[in-house]
Amino acid sequence: MTATRITVRGDSPYDVVVGAGVLGELPALLKPGVRTVAVVHPAGLPEIARPVCASLSDAGYDVVALPVPDGEQAKTVEVAAQLWSAFGRYGVTRSDAVVGVGGGATTDLAGFVAGTWLRGVQVVLVPTTLLAMVDAAVGGKNGIDTPEGKNLVGTFLPPAGVLCDLTTLASMPRADYVAGLAEIIKGGFIADPVILDLVEQDPADATRPEGRHTRELIERKIQVKADVVGADLREAGLREILNYGHTLGHAIERAEHYQMRHGEAIAIGMVYAAELSRLDGRIGADLVERTRSVLTAVGLPTGYRAGAWPRLRDHMRLDKKNRGAKQRFVVLDGLAKPGRLEDPSEELLEAAYQEISR
């Protein structure tokens, strides 16, 4: 089957290449003039970096493999500083490139260090998890974490290209794959209801990398994100809809010390946002129930523990969508009709939380 190319438009357009066994497309995504390529990859998964490095070496590039901690532990200023030092030692110039290989944490980090080294060098991302393919690696938003919250320090740097080789999904742990489905399902609620129809046809099949709708689900979600970020790279307006479920979701991740999978936290956050939408009179109970139903069907959580609200509320006050002291939430005005709720009352926010903590 041939590769699909989804173009992310805007001031710096690029392609997301999707297919099985498409690693050979990688060198062509680099812009002309590159001599040295720094490959940032998780230290615990050297096997995912080897074919990438080999493909680049065979194409004539000088390749430097730079391992980083696995998962969210990579997204710190200390790890970023280590990579900047390595770029200096290996002579990475403004005409060279960074390639980020791995899950969303690695691609976030790679994009951030590329965007800040010499005020910006090109980066190509090779996501190897479902979450990274459909969300983290697409959109040009990069970042690292601080003790105060997730992704609070970052850059906007569109990649030169993104390569999604679907064969890498076969080795994913099932729980991680299912967690990645949360971002796909989010795309169904905010923009493309066909995604929900495909999942609901056979939820068990949707949880398998070899599922009959896997490629279509991935491509549809990438298209949703491409359409949004192509129109609004810097989150000035439209792009905020991609944060549906993320205000509470990020707060839960922080409360869990980032030990909960991102998709699991976002699944809970989507139910919260749906309840908030219902209590504000924007949607009916049927859409809230559909949210719970589709998430439960694939094995994602839909509630969080009682008694956690005061701590979560404190974490939510540092959300990136806030403006001054005003809290802003992405909600639904209907299926595939995202809206914004600004400065809701504390009573409304807590009432919605009570609905997910029963």
| 243 annotated active-site | yes
| 186 annotated active-site | no
Active-site entry in 41, 141, 213, 278: 141
User: Shortest CA distance to 115 belongs to which of 64, 158, 73?
Assistant: 158
Cα-based distances in Å from 242 to 140, 144, 175? 13, 19, 23
Active-site entry in 41, 186, 213, 225: 225
Active-site entry in 243, 254, 275, 328: 243
Q: From CA 247, how far away is CA 328, in angstroms rounded? A: 9
Place of tokens 């080999």: 54
| 350 annotated active-site | no
Active-site entry in 220, 239, 292, 328: 239
**Token digits of residue 3:** 């590769």
Tell me the residue type at 183. E
Place of tokens 């089957």: 1
| 323 annotated active-site | no
Tell me the residue type at 272. Y
The alpha helices in the chain, defined as continuous H runs, are: 26-29, 46-58, 77-89, 104-116, 130-131, 174-190, 194-201, 203-206, 214-231, 246-255, 262-279, 285-297, 309-316, 346-356
Annotated binding site: 70-75, 104-108, 128-129, 141, 150, 183, 246, 262
Annotated binding site for Zn(2+): 183, 246, 262
In three-state secondary structure terms, 153 is strand
Cα-based distances in Å from 330 to 95, 266, 274? 39, 13, 10
Beta strands 161-165 and 122-127, pairing class: parallel
Active-site entry in 47, 78, 89, 119: 119
Tell me the residue type at 89. R
Place of tokens 């990274």: 132
| 235 annotated active-site | yes
What size, in residues, is the chain? 358
Rg, Å, the chain Cα set? 20
Annotated binding site for NAD(+): 70-75, 104-108, 128-129, 141, 150
Output DSSP code: residue 100.
Answer: E
| 31 annotated active-site | no
| 320 annotated active-site | no
Beta strands 149-156 and 141-146, pairing class: antiparallel
Active-site entry in 25, 216, 235, 256: 235
| 278 annotated active-site | no
Active-site entry in 41, 213, 246, 254: 246
In DSSP terms, 15 is beta-bridged to 7
Active-site entry in 250, 261, 278, 328: 250
With 0-12 CB in 10 A as exposed, 13-18 as middle and 19+ as buried, what is 356? buried
Active-site entry in 41, 213, 254, 262: 262
Q: From CA 342, how far away is CA 176, in angstroms rounded? A: 33
As annotated, the active-site residues are: 119, 141, 183, 225, 235, 239, 243, 246, 250, 262
